[in-house]
């Protein structure tokens, strides 16, 4: 290949890299700094939640402190819980957290395995139901962002049905925005959410229909 041929090849590679970067920026979850304008999102503190057709949004609340710890989308027989945690500037958090969660699952009498998914490494777990000999399938995903970690927990049908999981994840995560803020938080500290004021459909208390864990295997103690 001649000099001009090499230059053209490098130019094509550069264009491909730019195109790939542009594609990545059009899909969430977004950090607040790079999120496109979306007037339909619900302002919920550390998360801006997209409305999803036929979905009900509920919130996981620690009643002793009246702190909202997570948002839960209920769609049909599936549920998706979202929680966001502070992370260090210099490194991602999900690899370390995943190892701790696997140990926590085992200590609770559950079992788990790791698997590759669209968003990276996942945990597929079988969690025991308190007071019963049955187990519930649970699927944990972690997505690292700038100074934050988003944890997504799938239960119900989406925990065992890949197509159901994919549809629910994309319906929510493609438009989801994480608002880390500038306040200092220790790594692994959960970032509190807020219940939006608009519409009763978005402010229902969480039901136990899917046996969703309040926080799942521990990432950190909530003080």
In a domain, 168, yes or no: yes
In a domain, 15, yes or no: no
Write out the residue range of the structural domain in which residue 139 sits: 30-205
CB-CB neighbours of 182 under 10 Å: 5
In a domain, 218, yes or no: no
Closest alpha carbon to 76 in 171, 216, 200? 171
* Contact present, 82 and 152 (Cβ < 8 Å): yes
* Contact present, 153 and 120 (Cβ < 8 Å): no
In a domain, 69, yes or no: yes
* Contact present, 172 and 161 (Cβ < 8 Å): no
CB-CB neighbours of 223 under 10 Å: 7
Q: Alpha carbon 162 to chain centroid distance?
A: 16
**Tokens for 160?**
């065992």
* Contact present, 140 and 123 (Cβ < 8 Å): yes
| Percent helix, strand and coil across the chain, each to the nearest 5 | 25, 35, 40
In a domain, 14, yes or no: no
Q: Say what the pLDDT of residue 143 is.
A: 97
CA separation (Å) from 182 to 117, 147, 164? 31, 10, 36
Per-residue pLDDT of the chain (223 residues; tens, 9 = 90+): 554 455 555 555 655 554 444 444 568 999 999 999 999 999 999 999 999 999 999 998 887 877 899 999 999 999 999 999 999 988 899 999 999 999 999 999 999 999 999 999 999 999 999 888 899 999 999 999 999 999 999 999 999 999 999 999 999 999 999 999 998 899 999 998 999 875 544 445 444 333 444 344 443 332 2
Of the chain, the end-to-end C-alpha distance in Å amounts to 63
Closest alpha carbon to 33 in 19, 49, 48? 48
Domain count, the chain: 1
In a domain, 125, yes or no: yes
In a domain, 167, yes or no: yes
In a domain, 22, yes or no: no
Here the CATH number for the domain that contains residue 99 is 3.40.1000
CA atoms within 13 A of residue 175's CA, in its CB half-sphere: 15
* Contact present, 117 and 185 (Cβ < 8 Å): no
Using DSSP's 3-state secondary structure scheme, residue 22 falls into helix
């Amino acid at each position: 290949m001649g000099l001009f041929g090499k230059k053209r090849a490098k130019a094509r590679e550069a264009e491909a890299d730019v195109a790939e970067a542009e594609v990545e920026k059009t899909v969430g979850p977004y950090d607040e700094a790079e999120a496109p304008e979306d007037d339909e999102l619900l302002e919920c503190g550390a998360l801006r939640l997209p409305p999803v057709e036929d979905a009900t949004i509920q919130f996981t609340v620690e009643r002793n402190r009246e702190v909202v710890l997570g948002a839960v989308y209920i769609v049909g027989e599936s549920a998706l819980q979202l929680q966001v945690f502070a992370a260090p500037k210099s490194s991602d958090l999900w690899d370390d957290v995943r190892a701790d969660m696997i140990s926590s699952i085992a200590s609770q009498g559950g079992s788990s395995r790791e698997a590759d998914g669209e968003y990276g490494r996942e945990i597929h777990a079988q969690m025991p139901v308190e007071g019963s000999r049955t187990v519930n399938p649970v699927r944990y995903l972690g997505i690292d962002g700038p100074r934050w970690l988003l944890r997504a927990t799938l239960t119900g049908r989406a925990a065992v049905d890949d197509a159901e999981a994919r549809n629910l994840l994309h319906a929510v995560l493609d438009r989801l925005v994480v608002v880390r803020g500038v306040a200092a938080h220790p790594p692994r500290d959960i970032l509190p959410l807020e219940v939006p004021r608009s519409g009763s459909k978005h402010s229902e208390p969480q039901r136990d229909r899917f046996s969703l864990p309040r926080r799942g295997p521990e990432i950190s103690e909530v003080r």
